[in-house]
Amino acid sequence: MASLQPVRGTHDLLPEDIRRHRRVVECARQIAERYGYQEMATPIFEFTEVFRRTLGETSDVVTKEMYTFADRGGDEITLRPEYTASIARAFISGGLRRHAPLKLFASGPMFRYERPQKGRLRQFHQIDAEVIGVAGPQADIEIIELGAHILQGLGVAELCTLELNTLGDSESRATYRKLLVDYFESHRSDLSEDSKLRLDKNPLRILDSKDDGDRKLIVGAPRGSDSLTSEAADFFASVRDGLDQLAIAYTINEKLVRGLDYYTHTAFEFTTEALGAQGTVIGGGRYDGLIEMMGGSPTPGIGFAGGIERLAMLASEVPAEVRPVAVIPIGKSTQAAALRVCHQLRHAGFAADLGFSGNLSKRMARANKLNASCAVIIGDDELAKDAVSVRDFDSGKQEEVALSSIIAVLNRYHPDGAASA
């Protein structure tokens, strides 16, 4: 039955999938903490105006991809298609300006009505990092360094290329916008229908076009670097110098743009050829005009988002499951003791499995299926001596151990040690 299948463009995160997913999030979270980023979360839905104003009335996300509906109170609500606008809204409504500068990390599900394909789903997940309240290039350098560090932590940095560009300051953008309009206006008849609409409302977005005809015209379009003010050029030089100091390699891509006016200065993407057409795994940029445009006080910001599904696909190794300790009672008389031992182990930080039924053979088979590191076997003879038998599944060795020393002995079978109790 169709109703018993996931909705098109969504999928279940089964145990193996969730281990990949969690590895990406935990790696990013731990590295972000080293840089002083505080974790936060926003609701998965907002008033539609939050995204309509920030993403632009003519953007594909707003016109084609947002999940928007009227709730029972008549409010127009949209499932979150990206994180930055929600975080900016929280910055304003939560009165966070007094705490600026702020460094924030978030992760969670996003929703866009797109054609499902490899690495692109209608419900997908992102990690997100933002620096709010820092106008200087130091923030640009750090946010890019953080993205590179996360890729290194996942073991995929060598598969990725950092592409970098500058959008300049507001004066640079205004000059460049006029040059683009003049150029594309002279080729209007050759533009795709989407690009003709963008030419009137958002000409920089023509540079994002995937239409073959548009791509040919884009080759001859004016270059943004020719429109930079001296201040904007110096800002970009400082960003590049900082990345050079950190030995973070990059390539300049002048076609890498952000169409909305609140974006300024640095734009960047970490891309890969290992995932086919879906090449961007982390993308970000500076958005100095966003918070003011949303109704807050003028506040600079820069951030990035990374696709968890894509990063998990790139980091192809599946994290190993935790190897539990199998606690195996022999006979009904030892069930209570096994329950107490299992309780003790879990509170000491061990993963412990107590099968619900079965003889010794069936319980040992279950322990093998769970890839247990060892078994704690409790029979009447052991119980009479306040002891247990511990069998190491890797070496086959078995020893009798006093119950009072069970934790110390089991630490030998878990070389990484138990988690903190």
- Give pLDDT tens digits for 158-212: 999 999 999 999 899 889 889 988 999 898 888 898 888 888 877 888 887 888 8
Which has the closest alpha carbon to 89: 140, 61, 58, 54? 54
At residue 421 the predicted structure's pLDDT band, cuts being 50, 70 and 90, is: very low
Q: Output the domain CATH number for residue 87.
A: 3.30.930.10
Q: Which residue has the higher pLDDT, 252 or 10?
A: 252
Query: How much is the mean pLDDT over the chain?
Result: 90
Same-domain pairing of 158 and 257: yes
| Encoded amino acid at 326, one letter | A
Return the closest-CA partner of residue 183 out of 233, 224, 228, 212. Answer: 224
DSSP state, residue 63: I
Burial class (CB in 10 A: 0-12, 13-18, 19+), 60: middle
Q: Do 144 and 293 share a structural domain?
A: yes
Name the domain boundary from 293, 314, 335: 314
Measured CA to CA, the distance from residue 345 to residue 215 in angstroms comes to: 62
Q: Is residue 185 part of a domain?
A: no
Distance, in Å, from the CA atom of 145 to the CA atom of 282, rounded to the nearest integer, reads: 12
Which residues are CB-neighbours of 350 under 8 A, at least 6 positions away? 324, 325, 410, 414, 418, 419
Whole-number Å distance between alpha carbons of 37 and 33 = 5
CATH code for the domain in which residue 345 is found: 3.40.50.800
Which residue in 253, 256, 260 sits closest to 288, CA to CA? 260
Does this model's pTM top 0.85? My answer is: yes
Q: Indicate the helix (H) or strand (E) that contains 231.
A: helix 230-245
Q: Among 247-251, 351-355, 370-374, 403-407, which range has the highest average pLDDT?
A: 247-251
Give the three-state DSSP class for 78: strand
155 plus 249 within the same structural domain: yes
Model confidence at 119, in pLDDT bands (50, 70, 90)? Answer: low
Residues near 51 by beta carbon (within 8 Å), at least 6 away in sequence: 61, 62, 66, 78, 80, 81, 82, 85
Residues 301 and 404 in one domain: no
Same domain, 305 and 339: no
214 belongs to a structural domain: no
Structure tokens at 348: 């000491």
Q: Which position has the token pair 């979150």? A: 80
Residue 25 has pLDDT above 90, yes or no: yes
Could you tell me if 242 and 388 lie in one domain? no
Confidence of residue 58 (pLDDT cuts 50, 70, 90): low
Structural domain total, the chain: 2
- Residue span of the structural domain in which 336 resides: 325-413
Residue that terminates a domain, selected from 254, 284, 314: 314
State the angle between helix axes of 230-245 and 137-153 in degrees (0 to 180), rounded to the nearest 10: 30
Looking at residue 420, what is its pLDDT?
A: 38
One domain for residues 132 and 266? yes
Please tell me whether residues 100 and 147 are part of one structural domain.
Answer: yes
Q: Is residue 223 part of a domain?
A: no
Q: Does residue 105 sit within a domain? A: yes
Flag whether 197 is in a domain: no
| pLDDT, position 52 | 87
Model pLDDT for residues 285-315, shown as the tens digit of each residue = 999 999 999 999 999 999 999 999 999 999 8
**Mean pLDDT: which of 108-117, 194-203, 263-272 is highest?**
263-272
Nearest of 171, 140, 165 to residue 300 by alpha carbon: 140
Q: In the predicted model, what is the mean pLDDT of residues 356-368?
A: 88
Looking at residue 224, its pLDDT comes to 86
Hey, which of 46-60, 126-140, 218-232, 346-360 has the most confident mean pLDDT?
126-140
For residues 166 and 58, which has the higher predicted lDDT (pLDDT)? 166
pLDDT tier at 243 (50, 70, 90 boundaries)? very high
150 and 31 in a common domain: yes
pLDDT at 419: 47
- 146 and 7 in a common domain: yes
The residues near 409 (Cβ < 8 Å, ≥ 6 apart) are 390, 399, 401
- Is the CA virtual torsion 23, 26, 29, 33 positive or negative? negative
| Average pLDDT, integer, range 257-274 | 89
Q: Is there a single domain that holds both residue 273 and residue 406?
A: no
Is the confidence at residue 21, as pLDDT, over 80? yes
pLDDT at 277: 67
Q: What percent of the chain is modeled with pLDDT above 70?
A: 95
pLDDT range class, residue 101, cuts 50, 70, 90? very high
Q: pLDDT at position 200, please? A: 80
The answer to the question of residue 419 being in a domain is: no
Residue-level pLDDT at 418 = 56
Among 86-90, 96-100, 259-263, 265-269, which stretch is predicted with the lowest mean pLDDT? 259-263
Task: Outline where 298-334 has alpha helix (H).
Answer: 308-314
Q: Give dist(CA 384, CA 386) in Å, integer.
A: 6
Encode 353-388: b = buried (16+ Cβ within 10 Å), e = exposed: bbbeeeeeeebbebbeebebbbbbbbbeebbeeebb
170-185 and 193-201 helices cross at what angle (nearest 10)?
A: 140
Candidates 250, 221, 228; CA nearest to 161 is: 250
Q: 268 and 371 in one domain? A: no
Which pLDDT value is given to residue 114?
80
With vertex at residue 229, the alpha carbon angle to CA 271 and CA 135, rounded to the nearest 5 degrees, is 65
115 occurs within a structural domain: yes
Is the model's pLDDT at 144 over the cut of 70? Answer: yes
Contact 11, 313 (CB under 8 A): no
Q: What is the pLDDT of residue 348?
A: 93
Residue 16, C-beta contacts closer than 8 angstroms, at least 6 positions apart: 318
- Residue-level pLDDT at 416: 56
Question: How far lies 136's CA from each of 109, 142, 235, 409, in Å?
Answer: 31, 11, 8, 55
Of the residues 290, 314, 338, the one at which a domain ends: 314
Element containing residue 410 per DSSP (H, E): helix 406-413
Q: Is residue 309 part of a domain?
A: yes
CA–CA dist 35, 58 (Å, integer): 36
Percent of the chain with pLDDT over 90: 63
